[in-house]
Amino acid sequence: MGHSGPGLPAAGHHDSPWQRPLDLYSNHPASLRPGEFIVESEFRIMRDAQPGTVYLKDYRQPDYLVDSTRLRFELEPNATLVQSRLKVRRNPAAGEGLPPLKLDGVNLELLSVAMDGAPLAAADFTCHDEGLSIPVDRAEFTLEICNRIDPEGNTSLEGLYLSNGMYCTQCEAEGFRKITYYPDRPDVLSKFTATIIAPRDYPILLSNGNEVERGEIDGDRHFVTWEDPFAKPAYLFALVAGRLEKVEDRFTTMSGREVVLQIFTEPKNIHKCAHAMASLKAAMRWDEEVYGREYDLDIFMIVAVDHFNMGAMENKGLNIFNSACVLASPETATDAAFQRIESIVAHEYFHNWSGNRVTCRDWFQLSLKEGFTVFRDAEFSADMNSRAVKRIEDVSMLRTAQFAEDAGPMSHPVRPDSYMEISNFYTLTVYEKGAEVVRMIHTLLGPEGFRRGSDLYFDRHDGSAATCEDFIAAMEDANGVELQQFRRWYSQAGTPILEISDDYDAKQQRYVLTVRQSCPPTPGQPEKQPFHIPLKMGLLGADGSALPLVAEGSSEGEINERVLEITEAEQSFTFENIAEQPLPSLLRGFSAPVKVRYDYTPAQLRLLMRADRDAFNRWDASQRLAFGAMAQLQRDFRAGIALQLSSELVEAYRSVLQQEGLDPALVAEMLTLPSAQTLAEEAETIDAEAIIAARKFAEHTLAEALYDELLATYRRLNHDKPYRPVADDIAERRLKNTALAYLCVTERKDALALAEAQFVAATNMTDSSAALAALVNRADDQCAEAALQSFYERWKEDDQVVDLWLGLQSSSPQRGTLGAVRALMLHPAFELTNPNRVRAVLGTFANRNFTQFHQPDGSGFHFLAAQVIALDKLNPQIAARLVTPLTRWKKYRTGPREAMHAALQSVMASGQLSADLYEVVSKSLKTD
Ligand code: B3K
Ligand code: ZN
């Protein structure tokens, strides 16, 4: 029995296009083929030449608002019919007159357009490559559009597409225009209703908000209608249809409302949802406790999909996740995966307030939601796990990858002022540096002040689209402070450098710290104004004790940590009553995203490593010590001098292993040498060969010198505890496996036997994959080969483990040769259309296999270029990301520099590039 409900077809008796079933459309007077519409020549010219640039300074309010959006989908793999009915209204704030209505639309087959029920003829409007322009003669009207799309042919994974037979969407930033014609911009907020019609063998049909109706159609199809009571921009729209199973739980909010929580996956993965569910509940509670934010719908859904361009997406009430960021079981997921899931589930959930309830006015404001939400998820993870270790992980990543981005050709401020393709600006700068900027506000205002500011921000802007400026203004107004200079963090790109010197006057017992700040030029910004920088610091006495700090003229009582506010290009701070020559502990907790230059001696660094009360700075001292030693090794390598590792470093590492009572995860971090990528970022000119030689030598020397201590550590921690992904146990496993990796570097039989034994006995993926990695990274590879094979045989049905298996090989300096990587691409498990596979094989090779990617003949660079060219035809977003390592060519020493440049040029010369790839490559090739 057919069913007729709101917005649903009932056998073709209705005359508005909205309700007309598919077959009637082909006879509709307005159902013309897209080619029959007039094509605006300027758009064609633009597309064939190069993509245009969008500027923040050109922002204008939308001419029209959309009060409600009704959507109706008839799902078919190659011909999905999309009907929309929009209640449109002239935006009174946008000016006089009735300009044409401009709707975005890409790769759509237009079937019909009607205004207030009257079909428009082809001559009544303009249709071009990027959308529609419709003349308007009234201030309010209903617009009905019908178009067709091809989800199966959509490999860009943006818009509506198919992943393993499941329909899903990704609309941020500009994917909704690949679904239907719409004002696809975040400052147009509308109430959405969506009806999904699908064959009955797609039992699960989901969209945002609450389910309001469901029924059968024509015997073999069914429909579900969803209504989202919260107005939202189109980028938060989502649709899912598939053969899925779910796990369900409940959460009672702080005001006592009950919320249903559901996680949907393919049936084979349904046993892997418990951790994501627990993380979700913890995040919901945390946001209530720390920010006073409560969930607002009756249902919250998460869906895991295999083909996804990034980690996850915060669509209102219906988060869509990359499977790798939601599915976990102890047998198949590493500790790192458990922690990643916890933080991404939280991140997407937190967006419900920082992103959805308060959204962004335009995409230049992306950091408004992303920087803030990363800060929120980082604090959540710090509260759930070890705060110091979380901070170390985040800062390592920032220093390695974000600092490199800030110094490269794509460098941009946290709030960019122009872009060609917004997808290229989902960057470490917008996310991670943006989070550091929010953290600095937190440091400057203190937790209570920050909370006052966030409360005001949410109150003021709830239900609307805001700017970074609004965020700072709320922080200022709630606290009666002024952050004028601080705003430069949003507008100036580049990593500031603090050069710090000091002077101690023993007679006066006075200590003076002098700070000079500068910031290197970045594209389009040759000169920078001084930043407002919170510099958290303390002073240590010779025995490591914390010295009391009294600032000149201060009436404060005794404290031993201060936040100095740096605002000038050069500034001095005087401390009185300092009884002995102090050792400064600077930028504690990494209180600002800057580089600190201070001439520490190795002995001073060892004191900081041992005694600083700030755990982050203890680790940072270990890094500085290692940087110094590694820089010396690189110089010696180039000078042809026999390499010798500083005994300071060896002894410092030994003390770390011997010191009692330290958090094992912190010990593991302190024992880990800076990665080749981190060394590359630190270098003035990158000498890949020298970095590889220095790192290898240092690792071997440390492993040999500390063998006994490492072995003792390994034995102490290698116990049979049932697996739990909790901070203390994760910390122990991390140190144990760090020790194992070092032991195996020696290639001693005993060490390899330990790895083999662990590989065989492991009952969790952390220990199993760590043992496999230790084996794979050895020179003699017979045993490694056997281990790899048995691992694959055991796990070949599990996508997440197969990704791990691929990544282990392509990151291996021994086994991940170019030939091996090519072979992995021919493996049946590899798919160029699956971003997780591409990341596991190609991303890992180019970003984490420094040795093989940087082969002196340049073969790695040309290989990457060829893959990028192929990928651009399928998935431009992934192609534009994958090319990143080549964009750093200017920083390399001659030889690799020219080879990387040539590889990049070959990408440019390969034909018509996507806007995504064109932007990255053209900006990188610029020589200014
Ligand atoms: N907001 C999404 C990112 C969308 C990326 C589009 N290219 C995930 C997140 O940051 O939560
Ligand atoms: Zn986000």
Task: Give tens-digit pLDDT for 203-229.
Answer: 999 999 999 999 999 889 999 999 999
Q: How confident is the model at residue 139 (pLDDT cuts 50, 70, 90)?
A: very high
Candidate of 176, 232, 310, 373 to mutate for ligand 1, largest count of ligand atoms within 8 Å of Cβ: 310
Q: 355 CA to middle of ligand 1, Å?
A: 10
Q: 886 CA to middle of ligand 2, Å?
A: 26
Residues contacting residue 80 through CB under 8 Å, at least 6 positions apart: 73, 74, 148, 149, 150, 151, 160
pLDDT recorded at residue 375: 98
Q: What are 549's two structure tokens?
A: 């700090």
Distances (CA, A) of 455 to 354, 408, 473, 870: 11, 37, 12, 48
Please, what sign has the CA dihedral across residues 525, 526, 531, 537?
positive
Q: At 35, give phi and psi (nearest 5°).
A: -65, -20
**Residue 702 forms part of a structural domain:** no
Which of 223, 243, 263 is the last residue before a domain boundary?
A: 243
For the Cβ of 70 lying below 6 angstroms from any atom of ligand 1, the answer is no
User: What average pLDDT does this structure show over 654-659?
Assistant: 96
Q: Where are the beta strands (DSSP E) in 40-129?
A: 54-55, 64-74, 80-90, 101-104, 109-115, 118-119, 126-128
**Residue 373 forms part of a structural domain:** yes
Q: How far out from the chain centre does Cα 405 lie?
A: 14
| Closest ligand to residue 172's CA | 1
Residues 95 and 222 in one domain: yes
User: What average pLDDT does this structure show over 416-420?
Assistant: 98
In 3D, which of 357, 520, 496 has the Cα closest to residue 437?
496
For the Cβ of 379 lying below 6 angstroms from any atom of ligand 1, the answer is no
pLDDT recorded at residue 44: 30
Tens of pLDDT, residue by residue over 363-378, are 999 999 999 999 999 9
The chain-wide mean pLDDT, for the chain, equals: 94
Domain around 588: 353-597
Q: How confident is the model at residue 28 (pLDDT cuts 50, 70, 90)?
A: very low
Please indicate whether residue 348 is annotated as part of the active site.
Answer: yes
Output the domain CATH number for residue 410. 1.10.390.10
Residue 259, helix vs strand vs coil: strand
246 pairs with which residues across the strands?
Answer: 264
pLDDT recorded at residue 928: 73
**E strand or H helix at 916, and its extent?**
helix 915-925
| pLDDT at 642 exceeding the cut of 50 | yes
Measured distance CA(512)–CA(506) in Å, rounded: 11
Q: How confident is the model at residue 50 (pLDDT cuts 50, 70, 90)?
A: confident
Residue 201's Cβ-count burial label (10 Å; 0-12, 13-18, 19+) is exposed
User: What average pLDDT does this structure show over 571-577?
Assistant: 96
| Closest ligand to residue 373's CA | 2
Distances (CA, A) of 368 to 373, 380, 382, 432: 8, 18, 21, 12
Q: Which atom of ligand 1 is nearest to 374's Cα?
A: 10
In 3D, which of 379, 434, 383 has the Cα closest to residue 412?
434
Measured distance CA(649)–CA(520) in Å, rounded: 31
Output the domain CATH number for residue 119. 2.60.40.1730
**E strand or H helix at 322, and its extent?**
strand 318-322
Q: Whose alpha carbon is nearest atom 5 of ligand 1?
A: 172
For the Cβ of 426 lying below 6 angstroms from any atom of ligand 1, the answer is yes
Tens of pLDDT, residue by residue over 269-303, are 999 999 999 999 999 999 999 999 999 999 999 99
| pLDDT at 12 exceeding the cut of 50 | no
For the Cβ of 421 lying below 6 angstroms from any atom of ligand 1, the answer is no
Q: Which residue has the tokens 């440091």?
A: 443
Q: What is the dihedral of CA 472, 477, 479, 482, to 10 degrees?
A: 60
Which of 220, 243, 266 is the last residue before a domain boundary?
A: 243
**Residue 293 forms part of a structural domain:** no
Which of 189, 220, 243 is the last residue before a domain boundary?
A: 243
Residue 420, helix vs strand vs coil: coil
For the Cβ of 342 lying below 6 angstroms from any atom of ligand 1, the answer is no
pLDDT recorded at residue 2: 36
Q: At 419, give phi and psi (nearest 5°).
A: -155, 155
Measured distance CA(259)–CA(312) in Å, rounded: 21
Candidate of 370, 419, 423 to mutate for ligand 1, largest count of ligand atoms within 8 Å of Cβ: 370
Q: Whose alpha carbon is nearest atom 1 of ligand 1?
A: 313
pTM: 0.95
Measured distance CA(372)–CA(350) in Å, rounded: 10
Q: What are 334's two structure tokens?
A: 């590493």
Kindly report the number of other CB atoms within 10 A of residue 556's CB atom.
9
566, 517 Cβ separation under 8 angstroms = yes
User: What average pLDDT does this structure show over 223-250?
Assistant: 98
pLDDT recorded at residue 780: 67
Q: Which atom of ligand 1 is nearest to 312's Cα?
A: 8
**Residue 510 forms part of a structural domain:** yes
Q: 377 CA to middle of ligand 2, Å?
A: 10
Domain count for the chain, please give it: 2
**End-to-end CA separation in angstroms for the chain:** 70
Candidate of 426, 428, 881, 919 to mutate for ligand 1, largest count of ligand atoms within 8 Å of Cβ: 426
Q: Whose alpha carbon is nearest atom 8 of ligand 1?
A: 313
Tens of pLDDT, residue by residue over 246-272, are 999 999 999 999 999 999 999 999 999
Q: Whose alpha carbon is nearest atom 3 of ligand 1?
A: 313
Residues contacting residue 789 through CB under 8 Å, at least 6 positions apart: none
pLDDT recorded at residue 720: 85
| pLDDT at 231 exceeding the cut of 90 | yes
For the Cβ of 476 lying below 6 angstroms from any atom of ligand 1, the answer is no
In 3D, which of 796, 790, 751, 746 has the Cα closest to residue 768?
790
Q: Which residue has the tokens 């922080």?
A: 475
> How is residue 393 annotated by DSSP?
H
Q: 313 CA to middle of ligand 1, Å?
A: 5
Q: Whose alpha carbon is nearest atom 10 of ligand 1?
A: 370
Q: Whose alpha carbon is nearest atom 6 of ligand 1?
A: 172
Residues 51 and 177 in one domain: yes
Kindly report the number of other CB atoms within 10 A of residue 330's CB atom.
17
Q: Using alpha carbons only, what angle is made at residue 839 by residues 836 and 842, rounded to the nearest 5 degrees?
A: 135
Q: Which residue has the tokens 């709101």?
A: 6
Q: 762 CA to middle of ligand 2, Å?
A: 35
In 3D, which of 241, 117, 136 has the Cα closest to residue 183?
136
For the Cβ of 346 lying below 6 angstroms from any atom of ligand 1, the answer is no
Distances (CA, A) of 93 to 191, 292, 370: 20, 33, 28
Q: Where are the beta strands (DSSP E) in 793-871?
A: none
* Sheet bearing 118-119, strands edge to edge: 118-119, 109-115, 140-149, 80-90, 64-74, 191-199, 221-227, 210-217
| Closest ligand to residue 308's CA | 1
pLDDT above 70 as % of the chain: 94
108, 178 Cβ separation under 8 angstroms = yes
796, 802 Cβ separation under 8 angstroms = yes
Q: Higher model confidence: residue 190 or residue 779? A: 190
Measured distance CA(367)–CA(467) in Å, rounded: 9
Q: 426 CA to middle of ligand 2, Å?
A: 9
Measured distance CA(317)–CA(296) in Å, rounded: 9
User: What average pLDDT does this structure show over 884-907?
Assistant: 98
For the Cβ of 348 lying below 6 angstroms from any atom of ligand 1, the answer is yes
**Residue 371 forms part of a structural domain:** yes
Q: Whose alpha carbon is nearest atom 4 of ligand 1?
A: 172
For the Cβ of 370 lying below 6 angstroms from any atom of ligand 1, the answer is yes
Q: Which atom of ligand 1 is nearest to 423's Cα?
A: 7
Tens of pLDDT, residue by residue over 603-621, are 999 999 999 999 999 999 9
Distances (CA, A) of 705 to 253, 348, 675, 754: 55, 45, 20, 19
572 pairs with which residues across the strands?
Answer: 514
For the Cβ of 173 lying below 6 angstroms from any atom of ligand 1, the answer is yes
Q: How confident is the model at residue 29 (pLDDT cuts 50, 70, 90)?
A: very low
Q: Whose alpha carbon is nearest atom 7 of ligand 1?
A: 423
| pLDDT at 149 exceeding the cut of 90 | yes
**Residue 406 forms part of a structural domain:** yes
pLDDT recorded at residue 219: 85
**Residue 687 forms part of a structural domain:** no
Q: What is the dihedral of CA 546, 550, 556, 558, to 10 degrees?
A: 30
For the Cβ of 314 lying below 6 angstroms from any atom of ligand 1, the answer is yes
Measured distance CA(17)–CA(437) in Å, rounded: 49
Query: HEC profile for 751-775?
Result: HHHHHHHHHHHCCCHHHHHHHHHHH
Kindly report the number of other CB atoms within 10 A of residue 597's CB atom.
13
Residues 215 and 359 in one domain: no
Measured distance CA(142)–CA(116) in Å, rounded: 5
* Sheet bearing 166-170, strands edge to edge: 159-163, 166-170, 239-242, 204-207
Measured distance CA(55)–CA(597) in Å, rounded: 36
| pLDDT at 905 exceeding the cut of 60 | yes
Q: 316 CA to middle of ligand 1, Å?
A: 13
pLDDT recorded at residue 49: 58
575, 511 Cβ separation under 8 angstroms = yes
64-74 and 80-90 strand pairing: antiparallel
Measured distance CA(612)–CA(540) in Å, rounded: 7
| pLDDT at 340 exceeding the cut of 60 | yes
Residues 226 and 373 in one domain: no
Measured distance CA(561)–CA(613) in Å, rounded: 10
Cis before 173 (ω within 30): yes
Tens of pLDDT, residue by residue over 784-811, are 999 999 999 999 999 999 999 999 999 9
Q: What are 148's two structure tokens?
A: 């067709």
| Closest ligand to residue 345's CA | 1
For the Cβ of 236 lying below 6 angstroms from any atom of ligand 1, the answer is no
For the Cβ of 347 lying below 6 angstroms from any atom of ligand 1, the answer is yes
pLDDT recorded at residue 550: 77
- In this structure, of 16-20, 354-358, 574-578, the range with the lowest mean pLDDT score is 16-20
16, 117 Cβ separation under 8 angstroms = yes
Q: 280 CA to middle of ligand 1, Å?
A: 18
**Residue 837 forms part of a structural domain:** no
Q: 370 CA to middle of ligand 2, Å?
A: 5
| pLDDT at 846 exceeding the cut of 60 | yes
514 pairs with which residues across the strands?
Answer: 501, 572
Tens of pLDDT, residue by residue over 689-701, are 999 999 999 999 9
pLDDT recorded at residue 31: 30
**Which position among 348, 379, 436, 732 bears the catalytic label?**
348
Candidate of 158, 178, 232, 313 to mutate for ligand 1, largest count of ligand atoms within 8 Å of Cβ: 313
Q: Whose alpha carbon is nearest atom 9 of ligand 1?
A: 313
Measured distance CA(739)–CA(713) in Å, rounded: 7
